[in-house]
Structure formats: C-alpha cells, structure tokens
Structure 1
Amino acid sequence: MHFLLHLIVIILAFISYEHEAIAQYVPPYTSIVVPITKHIDATKTLYSVQIMTAYVNSQYLRANFLIDIDAPFIWHDCILQWNIYPGSCPANTLCTSPVSCEEYQCTDVRTTFSYDEPSCPPVTNGSTLPGWGYCTCPVNVVDPVTESCTQALLNYDEFTVNTSNGRNVFSGLYGAYPNAACVSSSSFGSFPENVTGVMAFSSSPYALPAYLSQPLKKTLAICLPSNSSTPGVLFVGTGPYYLLPNPSNPPNPDVDVRSLLSYTPLLTHPNSFGYFIGVDSIVIKQKSINIPGNFSTKLSTLDPYTTLRTDVYTRVIQAFSIATIGFPRAPPVAPFGLCYTRTVLASGPDSKFSFPDIDFNLVDGDGMKWTVYAANSVKQVTEDVACLAFVDGGGTAEYAVVIGTYQFEDNFVVFDLENSSFGFSSSLLKEQTSCSNFNFTVTDGN
C-alpha cells in the first residue's frame, strides 16, 4: 500500500511538471510572414501575397492572393468535393470541402458578412454537388478590379505560412483553417498574371487574422514595395519587424521598425470591415485644407492613389500649385490633374524644385501628423512627365479621403486590431531602408 501511494505521488508530480513545462513554453516565433509582390500588369497597380494552399506529392501548392484590407472573407480558385481522398482531385487543382447551406457559417456569412454591393443578385440554396444530396452555400464576391459580382461557394479551407521572429524566416510552418469561398478559374481574367484569389485582411471574423491563435496577436503589419522586382513584407503578429539597411549604407545595423512608428486610433465605419483613421485637415506648406463633415479617412490596398472628394481635391491642387510656383509644368496626364516636366525630379532634393511635404493632420488631440514626402506624393508617369499622385473622386464620393497604395509604398503600417490603433512610419527611405529590405532567407530556428 505504501509503495502504491508513493507511486501515485511520483506520477502526479510528473504530470504537474509536464503541465508546468507546457505552460512555460515560449515558441521561437512572434509572427507569421509572407512576401508581397507589386503587380503592374492589370488595369491598376495591385499587390499580392503568396500562400501555401495544399500538400500534394510531398510538396506544397502555392497561390498568389490580392491583399484586400476591406474584404469580408477570402475567396480563390478552387473546386469543392464532398469526399476528398488521395487521387480524387484533378492534377494541379486545389480541392476543398464545402460548407452546407444548413450550417450556421452559411447564414452568418450571407446575412452579416457578405459583400456590400447593390449589383449582386440574391443567392439561393439550389446548388448541389454530384453524388450527394446536400445543398452547398453560394455567396457573392466582388471583383476588386472590375467591381463586377461573381457567385462563389463557401468552403472549409486550409492555408500554411512561414513563421518568423521578425528578423528571420523559420522553416517551421503555421496552419490556419478559415472558411473561404471557391470560384472558377475563369473569374480571374481581370487579375494580374498568376494571381488567383483575394486574401481578406480586414476586421471581419472571416478574414485571415481572425483565424490565427496564440501566441500570435491580431496585429497586421504591411510594407508595400515600390517596385515589382523585389518583394515587400507582411507580418501578422506583434513584432519585432526588422529591415536591413540599404546596400549603400552598410555600416548601419538592421532596424526594428517599431521604433519608427507613431500611432493613432483606428475608427470603425458602418457597413464596412475596413480600416479608418481620423484626418481633420491636409496641410501643404502651412496652407491648411480642412476636411468638412465626417473626419473618417479610409485606408485602401486596392485604390492605387489617394482619392479626394472634389471639394477637398480642388483645394489640395490649388495649395500644391501655389507651393510649386516656378516649377516647369506639363499638360495633365489622366487620372492626374497637376503635372510637371521630369526636369523637376531630375534636379534632385536639394534643388530649388524640391516638392513640399503633404501632412495629414490626425484627429487625436496631440497635433500628430502623417507626413507624405515627394517619393509618395509625386509619380513619374511618362519619360518626361511627373504628376501629383492624388486623384479626384467626384463630388458625391462616399469618403472625403481614401489613402491609396502609392502613398503606402516604402511606408511601414501596422493595424493593431487588439488595441484598435494604427501605426505608421512615413517614408522608410528617410531611414536608409525600404520595404524590400526584409531578409527572407529561411533558417532552422523554429
């Protein structure tokens, strides 16, 4: 009896030790990480991430997804099968399991988290898959290029990504299991080449960040590259986020970009899962253009340039024009309204033709501003012409200001969903680094 009690004590002590060891385990990664590619072969500039989608023949299939921080859920090129077994899926095709119309996710997505687009037709439960009597779950999705509506089928999906400590990419992988939607291959004719999906990074509970669990925090960090030949970087996790110095500045150590960030509250907007910040004015060389009415400014990864409602746009163009009196002008090139000869850019930052900064004054009571330098405000559009990269959104635009991707390039931005805050760096070029300076070499640290 004494021996039995002693044995029980030893077993309980061992179990307690194991539980304590598990509780104390801290994984070596702090985030997941994926490269960002800039695409210039569609009707507008777009950005994608590459995700591993299925493990076939001892290797992962990979697909490229457009980055959409407004989309309510993920959708991509795949087909549904009720019973997926080895060899049943066509070669080089991604097969997923369908969500039935009788499951709660179907009703939830349709009624609460569907795409808000008036042109989308109502969906029904009429479709079934061959060999099974269960109904599938049709949902509507909106093409971000053409804004046309397409029907998709809700599914159970699986995505795999690399982990990182913010400085290195680890060989260890992280799996996420979202509800996404399948569309046919023919639905991607307007997309950039080899891009076959939309990855939702919004605040929706059906966007990718909602499916990532501990130790990852729901913090999305995006650094869009300014060229299509070298990738930018996207993290989900609290950091650190290290970027290497530019090759021309080798003595400098790599930079944890968190030290460069300023923060302002993230705002919510009715009927949107996207991200908004408060901007009450735009300042150009001490000339302040107040934003009338609602101060909510939308942040977009699909609009290529900052779009201003006409009443705001007219005053911004006027202020920038006055601030650049004497700069050689060129006829406007659509969609821009104020252009210059390229000699202005060729003269360099220290010449009399240096463009003024543009400040977005933020509504946070502390006089905080997001400064847009010339690298993100003036774009070379032809060999001989450069233009102010802000566009007129029309007099009835829903938002007075939508900050577009040209203004995000080589800026590091963080969407902290847990603390409802937005972090921004302004141009990394001023810090002798860029969004293309993350080290994607894979190590065995995980």
Structure 2
Amino acid sequence: MGSLTRLIVFLSIFAAITLKSNSEYLLPITKHEPTNQFYTTFNIGSSTKSPVNLLLDLGTNLTWLNCRKLKSLSSLRLVTCQSSTCKSIPGNGCEGKSCLYKQQNPLGQNPVVTGRVVQDRASISTTDGGKFLSQVSVPRFTFSCAGEKTLEGLPPPVAGVLALSPGSSSFTKQVTSAFNVIPKFSLCLPSSGTGRFYIAGIHYFIPPFNDSSSSIPMTLTPIRGTDSGDYLILVQSIYVGGTPLKLNPDLLNGGAKLSTVVHYVLQTDIYNALAQSFTLKAKAMGISKVPSVAPFKHCFDARTVEKNLTGPNVPVIEIGLPGRIGELKWGFYGANTVVKVKETVMCLAFIDGGKKPENLMVIGTHQLQDHMLEFDFSGTVLAFSESLLLHNTSCSTWTSQK
C-alpha cells in the first residue's frame, strides 16, 4: 500500500509540474502617445500591492525603478553584496554589505543608473492566450531602487525600466525560472492603445487568430544576445520595392539591433542608399517629394499617397535574413516605414545616425509595431510575424479585459 501511495504522490507531482510548465502569463503594453514609448504595468509588494509602470527595454539587464513610487517599502529586502544573486548581476558593485547595480539609462540625461539591489514579490496574471486569468506571484523578484533623477527623460507615467535583455537577471528570465516554464517571451507593440506582452506564451488569441487551428503565422531566424544586453539579428541584404540595395558588405556584418526604446536609426551609408531607392520607387508610384521636416530628411506629399490595409501605399522595405532553407525576407509596409509629421506631409521613418553610430542598424519601435515578436532563449531564435495589418487586425486589438 505504501508503494502505491508513493506512486500516486509521484504521479500527482509529475502532473502538477507538467501543468505548471504549460502555464503562460500576460501583461498589458501601453503606448505613451506623446513620446511613442511603451510600458507595461504590474504589482510589486507583499502586503500592499503597488501597480507600477515600467518602460520596456530589450537592452537592460536588471529592472530598476524609483522605489518611492511604491505604496509600501516594508516588504523590500536588501540583497547582500556577497550573495550569489548579487554576483550574478552584470555591473554589480558594493556599498558596505549592500549590493549595488549600475546600468545605462536608455533615455535620460544621466548616463548611468546606480541603486541598491532589493527583492520583493511581483504579481502578474496567467492567461489562456486571450484573457487575464488568475494572479500569481514571483516571490523574490530582484530589481534595483534608483533615485528620482534617474527618471528624467522617461515618459511621465513611468516609474523605471523593465529589463528584457538576454541576461540571467532580466525580468523575463526571473519569471520563467521561478515558474519553470518555457524560456521565452513575446511582444505585440500596439500602434495605439493597449498591446500584449506574453511570457512563456503558447497561444496568442488576437482576432482573427482565436484558436490553435488559426495561429498567427510566424517565421524563424537566428538571434544573438550580446554581453551588453542587446538582441541582434543577422542581416544579409536590404530590399526596397523588391530591388536589393548596393551596400558594402561590412555595413551588414554587425547585424541589426532590435530596440523597444529607439524609434529608427541607420548608419549614414545605409540610410542614404535606402532613402535614394525609396524616393525613386515612390516617384514611380506618383508620390511627390516635399521639403524635409526635422529630424527627417526625406518627406513626401501625403495627398499623393494612397491607402491600403497596411497604411500608406509606399514602397515595401524588406530585410533579408538567414532562414532554415536559404534567405527569408521580413517585410515592412507603410504603417512601419513612414510617419505623418503634418496634415499633408509624411516622411521616411528613419534617422541618419551618422558615419559611426553605436549600432549600424536599429530596427526600432516604429518598425516593430503591429508585429508579433517571440524571443526564444532556449534556441536563440526569433520568431516574427508579418504585419498583422495584412490580416485586418493589429496588436491594438484587445477584446478581453480583466
């Protein structure tokens, strides 16, 4: 009888682990319209839960925030300098027995953020892929308390920065480790309103993709995480209107950085080649060029641009990426390649970053809006969808509320 009891207990534990490993989690993504930055919201705290808004940043290794924005500090626990937690954090330091964290501020005037590393409970929601379900907690969520001045440059509703880097201390790595779930996260950045941030996502229910038989079509390409905390994809070529740009191969060797903070940046030679080809293709479509509007260099008469499902009908920009069998193309359409700056003026949505920018290519927030992106840590793979606008839907579609 004892053996049977042990077997039943073992099977129960195994079943629980299996169910747990299939769990997925959902957080909202809000677009702050004045700054076009994106943040998510969840609760921190054990006794008194405090909802905090944190900027999404793929390049930050450890979440930091102004802890004075929390309703209660009573449940915060300092991380000691000699602990394994402290030693595992990139940029860690010590002040007495307290662990300190130093990290680049992605937006503000203060280039380096320094704060004490702490732990507290973080509460997020489970999901079936569409609805928010029950609240669950990461009992020892590790983050840093930064000062008030570090918030300079961030959107006003935001209390800090959420770490989404490939590093072991990132928010997503902490959640997937705590719950023993699939080590991946997915972002659907909205062009307006509310989008979706999945952790360990299995199903993505965004109409018309509402069940497993009609899942969002995704394409796979290798992705590389860097020591600085960036995600890079390997770019083989760039096309405008189906025609490849003639570029020095060295300009593509560094790959393209994916960013949820930077809007759009290209190295000067890449930008010039892209802008020249785009302008010629646009002219052939009957689109008229107009004087530039800072910070953009190449602008067009919006009255000469027709509309379609994917926004302004302008030349398609594609990047060639390595696939399982040969090159694959990731296409960007009007909603992601031009931006309206005046009632009658729209501009090519890229900035000339100079001859020697930190990253030669940045695929930023404007390009990534309304694409589903899935970052898989286990296979160092990025899965991306084509523009959801092609399917007459978007990341802003949200039919299920709390």
Fold in common (TM above 0.5): yes
1:34 alignment counterpart: 27
Q: Is residue 138 from structure 1 mapped to residue 100 from structure 2 by the alignment?
A: yes
Shift of 1:154: 1.1
Alpha-carbon distance between aligned partners in 1 of 2:329 and 2:254, rounded to the nearest angstrom: 14
Cα contact 2:78–2:119 (8 A) shared by 1: yes
Distance 1:403 1:144, change over 3 A: same
Let me know the Cα RMSD of the aligned residues. Answer: 2.4
Aligned to 2:161: 198
- Kindly indicate whether residue 209 of structure 2 is the aligned counterpart of residue 239 of structure 1: no
Distance 1:291 1:259, change over 3 A: farther
**In 2, distance between residues paired with 1:257 and 1:291?**
41
CA distance in 1, matches of 2:315, 2:278: 8
Secondary structure class of the residue paired with 1:27: helix
1:136-195 CA distance string (max 9 Å, x none): 222223322125223211112321100012133212424252321101334323221221
Correspondent of 1:314 among 272, 295, 301: 272
Counterpart in the other structure of 1:219: 184
Are the aligned partners of 2:45 and 2:120 in contact in 1 as well (CA < 8 Å)? no
Moved over 6 A (4+): 254-257
> Structure 1 residue 296 and structure 2 residue 275: aligned?
no
- Is the deviation greater in 91-100 or in 405-414? 91-100
- Deviation, 1:344, is 2.9
Pick from 124, 131, 134 the counterpart of residue 171 of structure 1: 134
- Can you list the C-alpha shifts for 1:80-101, whole angstroms capped at 9, x where unaligned? xxxxxxxxxx982445111122
Distance (whole Å) between structure 2 residues aligned to residue 223 and residue 358 of structure 1: 20
- Counterpart Cα distance in 2 of 1:27 and 1:108: 29
Query: How far apart are the structure 1 equivalents of 2:346 and 2:328?
Result: 29
**Which of these two proteins has the greater Rg computed from alpha carbons?**
1
Question: How far off is 1:383 after superposition?
Answer: 1.9
Partner of 2:81: 101
Report the Cα distance in structure 1 between the residues aligned to 2:47 and 2:293, rounded to whole angstroms.
48
Whether 1:435 and 2:395 are equivalent positions in the alignment is yes
Match status 1:285 vs 2:278: no
The equivalences for 1:379-418 within 5 A come to 379-418=339-378
The one-letter amino acid of 1:419's match is: G
Partner residue, 2:55? 66
- Gap change, CA 1:234 and 1:281, over 3 Å in 2: same
Q: Is the 8 A contact 1:266 1:421 kept in 2?
A: yes
Structure 2: runs of 5+ lacking an equivalent:
none
- Match of 2:95, as an amino acid? N
Over 3 Å counting, the alpha-carbon distance change for 1:257 and 1:46 in structure 2 is: farther
Classify 1:99/1:257 alpha carbon distance in 2 versus 1 (closer, same or farther; 3 Å). farther
* Rounded Cα–Cα distance in structure 1 between residues aligned with 2:303 and 2:139: 50
CA distance in 2, matches of 1:256, 1:36: 26
Shift of 1:323: 0.5
Partners of 1:69 and 1:139 in 2: CA distance: 17
Equivalent position amino acid for 1:205 in 2 = S
1:171–1:296: structure 2 CA closer, same or farther, 3 Å change rule?
A: same
Contact 2:108 2:151 in 1 (8 A): no
Deviation readout 1:246-265 (Å, 9 max, x if unpaired) = xxxxxx86687854101101
AA aligned opposite 2:55:
L
- State the Cα deviation string for residues 40-61 of structure 1 (Å, max 9, x = none): 33xx42100101101445xx32
Q: 1:13-46: per-residue Cα shift (whole Å, max 9, x none)? A: 22321221221234386311000000133xx421
Q: Does 1:366 align with 2:315?
A: no
Alpha-carbon distance in 2 for matches of 1:259, 1:164? 17
Q: Distance in 1 between matches of 2:70 and 2:271?
A: 51
Bigger mean CA deviation after superposition, 135-144 or 321-330: 135-144
Mapped to 2, the partners of 1:292 and 1:309 lie a distance apart of 13
**Is the Cα contact below 8 Å between 2:25 and 2:201 reproduced in 1?**
no
Task: Summarize deviations over 1:318-369 as a string: whole Å, max 9, x none.
Answer: 1001101141222111221111122134x3239xx83111110113452201
Give the C-alpha shift of residue 399 in structure 1. Answer: 2.3
Counterpart position of 1:328:
288
Q: 1:273-292, CA deviations, whole angstroms, 9 ceiling, x for partnerless residues?
A: 22111112110123212362
Amino acid at match of 1:105: T
Q: Provide, for residues 385-432 of structure 1, a one-character-per-residue CA deviation record: whole Å limited to 9, x for no partner.
A: 111101111100132211000001111111111111111112101112
Cα deviation 1:277-321 (Å, max 9, x = unaligned): 11121101232123622141110111012x111111110011001
Pick the aligned partner of 1:76 from 56, 65, 73.
Answer: 65
Determine whether 1:19 maps to 2:14.
Answer: no
Distance (Å, rounded) in 2 between the aligned partners of 1:304 and 1:244: 27
Q: C-alpha separation between the residues in 2 aligned to 1:354 and 1:104?
A: 54
Q: Which amino acid aligns with 2:298?
A: L
For residues 144 and 322 of structure 1, do their structure 2 counterparts lie closer, same or farther at Cα, with a shift above 3 Å needed? same
Cα distance in 1, alignment partners of residues 278 and 70 from structure 2? 56
CA distance in 1, matches of 2:358, 2:66: 31
Match of 2:124 among 161, 167, 171: 161
Offset of 1:106 from its aligned partner? 3.0
Cα 1:254–1:435 shift into 2, 3 Å: farther
- Count of aligned pairs between the two proteins: 388
Q: What residue identity is the alignment partner of 1:156?
A: Q
Structure 1: how far apart are the matches of 2:337 and 2:300?
Answer: 13
2:232 to 276, 280, 292: 276
Note closer, same or farther for the CA distance 1:55–1:138 as it changes in structure 2 (3 Å cut). Answer: closer
User: In the alignment, residue 98 of structure 1 is paired with which amino acid?
Assistant: L
Alignment partners' CA distance in 1, 2:358 and 2:236: 16
Give 1:140's aligned amino acid. Answer: K
